[in-house]
């Protein structure tokens, strides 16, 4: 059996949580492979909305094993709160949740480092979620970080103190002092809780599951344009958000990769700083924000909104080897008479291209738009693919033709049920 992977193709918040939850019943295992509490994955069903940060989105299906892989940076405090919330809603996640002993630990001091580092960047700040992601990955790559398995060691406290001392010096270098207050006690209580859970060598668990024919879905966090190598650097996150990250973040060999679901909105959003060629700073952007309720699931920040950008989608599809596309939130565009689609960029030299320049940051790009008729029908009321309006079908075909990958799922609302499957679509 293969590992299928679901990846965001834009700047995150494409609707990954919803689709993982929808696809989950056909899998035995759902695994997160990178990121941490910077993620906010929303699921809606039976009239209730759930936001998950570190726990995989298969958790509401009791027969599915959910794994937090080695590539994840885990904040025990946030994690305990998440588990408690699930408990309050009657979900006993401890039974079907497994945590890699190699996952990295986010310490309270990592969050302080995130804040002081952002403050020092001033107007050039990344717009981090301030969850300690960057500093924790820095420690991992710098080979000084702590991992989940370390909490089982008798000298864990000393190793914790040693790392915090390093952090203290760095915070002082920024001209501030490290005062963790009650956070330390909360951290150690959360670590005690973590110790009581199923801590595993998840690379063995996953590879044995593969051998025995189990189906695995890897759930990406963030989006391809936030990837540390190929995203809009330096305005990116600190992990490999691409398919390649699932190999290193779970211990899966590339030859075991099966379907790659690439998920994108019918328009585009971004939260935090950095380039966004199709951003709409006018009332159209505001209209999308309101209709799409585009406010961050993790930080509540208003998301920047703009038209769909095909050159970036082509780029993400290329980097991930996407085999199926999922278009999300098409229902949000109901009110518009026409819908714009960025097909190319015009460079300052006058050249028209559909490729991304080395840096979106330094190149001033002018989006080249095609304008398509809007559908003016509330897609949320439609529950069969056959009943989709012609203008919307034309929009789908236009995007599909450009991207040369079939759109197999169209999502028309936040609820699990508002999901239309398109079988047997051929492109090209």
**Among residues 40 and 135, whose Cβ is nearest to Mg ion?**
40
Q: Which does 131 bind (CB under 5 to 8 A by kind): ligand GDP, Mg ion, ligand IMO, none?
A: ligand IMO
Backbone angles phi, psi at 125, to 5 degrees: -65, 155
> Considering the complex, what minimum distance in angstroms separates the CB of residue 316 from ligand IMO?
13
Name the residue number minimizing CB distance to ligand GDP.
Answer: 42
Pairing of strands 338-346, 41-45: unpaired
List of E strands, 97-152: 97-100, 104-105
Q: What is the DSSP string of 295-360?
A: B-TTT-PBPEEE-EEHHHHHHHHHHHT--EEEEE-GGGGTT-SEEEEEEEEE-TTS-EESS--S-T
CA distances in angstroms from 346 to 179, 215, 354, listed in the order given: 50, 44, 9
**Among residues 306 and 367, whose Cβ is nearest to ligand GDP?**
306
Q: What is the DSSP string of 170-207?
A: HHHHTT-----TTHHHHHHHHHHHHHTSEEE-HHHHHH
**Among residues 145 and 272, whose Cβ is nearest to ligand IMO?**
272
Looking at residues 279 to 298 of the shown chain, list those that interact with ligand GDP (rule: CB under 6 A).
292, 297
Site stretch for ligand GDP (CB under 6 A), options 30-38, 72-80, 203-211, 409-417: 409-417
Pairing of strands 216-219, 29-32: parallel
Which token pair is 340? 């714009």
Looking at residues 25 to 54 of the shown chain, list those that interact with ligand GDP (rule: CB under 6 A).
40-42, 44
Q: How far apart are alpha carbons 176 and 80 in whole angstroms?
A: 29
> Considering the complex, what minimum distance in angstroms separates the CB of residue 309 from ligand GDP?
17
Query: Does the annotation place 330 within a ligand binding site?
Result: yes
Looking at residues 321 to 350 of the shown chain, list those that interact with ligand GDP (rule: CB under 6 A).
328-329, 331-332
CA distances in angstroms from 331 to 156, 327, 328, 377, 389, listed in the order given: 50, 11, 8, 8, 12
Looking at residues 133 to 192 of the shown chain, list those that interact with ligand IMO (rule: CB under 6 A).
133-134
Query: Does the annotation place 353 within a ligand binding site?
Result: no
Asked if 127 touches ligand IMO (CB under 6 A), the answer is: yes
Contact positions vs Mg ion (CB under 5 A): 13, 40, 297
**Among residues 134 and 220, whose Cβ is nearest to Mg ion?**
220
Q: Coil, strand, or helix at residue 117?
A: helix
Say if CB 95 and CB 150 are below 8 A apart.
Answer: no
Told to judge if 101 belongs to the known catalytic residues of this protein, a careful annotator would answer: no
Size of the site for ligand IMO (CB under 6 A): 24
Under 8 Å CB-to-CB from 372, ≥6 apart: which residues?
338, 339, 340, 341, 391, 394, 395, 398
> Considering the complex, what minimum distance in angstroms separates the CB of residue 291 from ligand GDP?
8
Asked if 129 touches ligand IMO (CB under 6 A), the answer is: yes
> Considering the complex, what minimum distance in angstroms separates the CB of residue 427 from ligand IMO?
26
Q: Which of 80, 111, 131, 167 binds ligand IMO (CB under 6 A)?
A: 131
Q: Which of 3, 5, 16, 228 binds ligand GDP (CB under 6 A)?
A: 16
> Considering the complex, what minimum distance in angstroms separates the CB of residue 385 from ligand IMO?
26
Told to judge if 140 belongs to the known catalytic residues of this protein, a careful annotator would answer: yes
Which token pair is 6? 């679901």
Asked if 226 touches ligand IMO (CB under 6 A), the answer is: yes
Asked if 231 touches ligand IMO (CB under 6 A), the answer is: no
Q: Which of 140, 167, 314, 344 is catalytic?
A: 140
Asked if 13 touches ligand IMO (CB under 6 A), the answer is: yes
Asked if 39 touches ligand IMO (CB under 6 A), the answer is: yes
Under 8 Å CB-to-CB from 322, ≥6 apart: which residues?
7, 9, 260, 261, 262, 316, 405
Asked if 412 touches ligand GDP (CB under 6 A), the answer is: yes
- Nearest Cα neighbor of 347 from 358, 337, 338, 331 is 358
Told to judge if 13 belongs to the known catalytic residues of this protein, a careful annotator would answer: yes
> Considering the complex, what minimum distance in angstroms separates the CB of residue 75 from ligand IMO?
11
> Considering the complex, what minimum distance in angstroms separates the CB of residue 235 from Mg ion?
17
Which sign does the torsion angle of CA 205, 67, 326, 421 carry?
A: positive
Say if CB 403 and CB 310 are below 8 A apart.
Answer: yes
Residues of this chain that interact with ligand GDP (CB under 6 A) are: 8, 12-18, 40-42, 44, 292, 297, 328-329, 331-332, 411-414
Known binding-site residue numbers for GTP: 12-18, 40-42, 303, 329-331, 411-413
- The residues assigned a catalytic role are 13, 41, 140
Residues that bind ligand IMO (CB under 6 A): 8, 11-13, 35, 38-41, 126-129, 131, 133-134, 221-223, 226, 237, 271-272, 297
């Amino acid at each position: 059996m293969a590992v299928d992977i679901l990846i965001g193709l834009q700047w995150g918040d494409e609707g990954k949580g919803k689709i993982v939850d929808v696809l989950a019943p056909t899998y035995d295992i759902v695994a997160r492979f990178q990121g941490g509490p910077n993620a906010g994955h929303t699921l809606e069903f039976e009239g209730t909305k759930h936001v998950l940060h570190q726990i995989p989105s298969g958790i509401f299906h009791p027969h599915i094993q959910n794994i937090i892989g080695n590539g994840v940076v885990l904040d025990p405090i946030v994690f305990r709160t998440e588990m408690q919330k699930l408990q309050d809603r009657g979900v006993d996640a401890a039974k079907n949740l497994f945590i890699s002993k190699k996952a990295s630990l986010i310490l309270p001091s990592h969050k302080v480092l995130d804040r002081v580092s952002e403050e020092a960047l001033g107007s050039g700040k990344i717009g981090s979620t301030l969850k300690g992601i960057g500093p924790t990955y820095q420690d991992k790559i710098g080979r000084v970080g702590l991992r989940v398995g370390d909490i089982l060691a008798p000298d864990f406290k000393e190793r914790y103190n040693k790392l915090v001392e390093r952090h203290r010096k760095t915070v002082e270098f920024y001209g501030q002092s490290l005062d963790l207050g009650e956070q330390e006690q909360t951290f150690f209580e959360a670590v005690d809780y973590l110790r009581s859970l199923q801590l595993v060598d998840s690379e063995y668990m996953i590879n044995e599951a593969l051998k025995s024919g189990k189906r695995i879905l890897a759930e990406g966090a963030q989006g391809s344009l936030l990837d540390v190598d190929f995203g809009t650097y330096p305005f990116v996150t600190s992990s490999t958000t691409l398919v390649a990250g699932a190999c290193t973040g779970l211990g899966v060999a590339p030859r075991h990769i099966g379907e790659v679901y690439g998920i994108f909105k019918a328009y585009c959003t971004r939260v935090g700083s950095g380039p966004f060629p199709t951003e709409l700073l006018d009332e159209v952007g505001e209209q999308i924000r309101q209709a799409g309720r585009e406010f961050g699931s993790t930080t509540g920040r208003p998301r920047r909104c703009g038209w769909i950008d095909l050159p970036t989608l082509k780029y993400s599809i290329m980097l991930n080897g996407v085999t199926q596309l999922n278009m999300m939130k098409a229902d949000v565009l109901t009110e518009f008479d026409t819908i714009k689609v960025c097909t190319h960029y015009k460079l300052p030299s006058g050249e028209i291209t559909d490729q991304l320049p080395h840096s979106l940051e330094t190149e001033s790009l002018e989006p080249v738009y095609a304008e398509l008729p809007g559908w003016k029908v509330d897609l949320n009321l439609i529950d069969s693919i056959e009943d989709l309006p012609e203008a919307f079908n034309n929009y789908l075909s236009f995007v599909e033709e450009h991207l040369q990958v079939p759109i197999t799922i169209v999502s028309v609302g936040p609820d699990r049920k508002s999901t239309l499957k398109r079988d047997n679509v051929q492109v090209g």
